[in-house]
Amino acid sequence: MNVVAAFLRRDFRIDTSYRASFALRSFSILFFLALYFYLSRIVDESELATREHLSGGYFGYAAVGLALLSVLQVGLASFSRKLREEQTTGTFEALMAAPASPSLIVLSSALYDLIRALFFALVMIGAAVALFGLKLELQPASLGVATVTLVGALALFAAVGVAVAAFTVIFKQTAALLGMVVSVLALLGGVYFPISLLPGPIEQVATILPFTWALDVLRASLLGGDIRGLQVAGLFVSAMLLLPAALVGFRLAVRRAQRTGTLAQY
């Protein structure tokens, strides 16, 4: 807990020292919401309703997708970005030599960013409701499902983020990999449009992605759709399998870098 608290204090102090960033993020959220709000005016709502049995129309569909995508982007990028910062400032080797597990260090390094991303995702949904008239179908049970789904999604995103961090230890530059992964998940996960519009073979791939399950359940819980228990279970099983595997991969990557003398290289 001391290690986790230390990383949270450090990142909070750094983040709050740049006060303009909060306002810039807020304006960015408003611009994105306005873009999709007016884009929804030209979307055939009846066609969307036949494919997705949700309230809120296309704007609600896109708003929830954008909110979860923003958390995904941070979850995938923060671990490797924090690691690169430690490498370039010359502190990564010292961190890996500290009397703490590398798994604990890598998870703690991006915890603040994940919390902040989740906060801004909630701000995005709140702004969609308050400023653009989005109506959510909220019930105690659906809110509980949404909360549980977010926990599972955060664990899943952390698993992929740690895996990318392991690649960063070995290959140093992973920006192209991150961009490709985020773009593929946004396309196949149904962030901008229903995956039923995709060609058959690609749709089949999209339906087995845990990110798709998380987004489907989150939309269903907030927009009055049918919640599928198998998707919730699959999300947690995926996170429980992938996160330990990613942590093992990160530790192996660190050991390899220590053996080859490239741990401090960037």
Distance CA 243, CA 185 (A): 18
- Per-residue pLDDT tens for 179-231? 888 888 888 988 998 888 889 889 899 999 999 999 999 999 998 878 888 99
User: How many structural domains compose the chain?
Assistant: 1
Say if 266 falls within a structural domain. no
User: How many other CB atoms are found less than 10 A from the CB of residue 51?
Assistant: 13
Start-to-end Cα distance in the chain: 29
Q: Does pLDDT of 2 surpass 90?
A: no
Give the CA diameter of the chain.
60
Q: Which of 121, 151, 126, 123 is nearest to 136 (CA)?
A: 126
Q: Which helix (H) or strand (E) holds 265?
A: none
Question: Lowest mean pLDDT: which of 16-25, 116-125, 160-169?
Answer: 16-25
Question: Sorting pLDDT into bands at 50, 70 and 90, what band is 238?
Answer: very high
pLDDT in the model for residue 35: 92
Here the tokens at position 51 are 């494919």
Give 150-163 pLDDT, tens digit per residue. 999 999 999 998 88
Which DSSP string corresponds to 43-93? Answer: S-HHHHHHH---SSHHHHHHHHHHHHHHHHHHHHHHHHHHHHHHHHHT-HH
Return the pLDDT at 243: 92
Q: How big is the chain, counted in residues? A: 266
For the chain, the average pLDDT equals 86
> For residue 4, what pLDDT is reported?
84
The answer, yes or no, to whether residue 264 has pLDDT greater than 70, is: no
The answer, yes or no, to whether residue 173 has pLDDT greater than 70, is yes
Give a yes or no: residue 183 inside a domain. yes
Give pLDDT tens digits for 85-136.
777 777 777 777 777 787 888 888 888 889 999 999 999 999 999 999 888 8
CA distance 26 to 36: 16
Query: Tell me, what's the pLDDT at 200?
Result: 86
Give yes or no for a contact between 173 and 256, defined as CB atoms under 8 angstroms apart: no
Q: Does 265 fall in a domain?
A: no
- Torsion angle, CA of 229/124/47/204, rounded to 10 degrees? -50
Q: Which residue has the tokens 């003398």?
A: 261
Q: Identify the band that residue 266 occupies on the pLDDT scale cut at 50, 70 and 90.
A: low
**Of the given ranges (52-66, 91-105, 206-220, 238-252), which has the lowest mean pLDDT?**
91-105
Structural domain for 135, as ranges:
2-260
Structural domain includes residue 96: yes
Q: pTM for the complete prediction?
A: 0.87
Q: 10 Å Cβ neighbour count for 160? A: 23
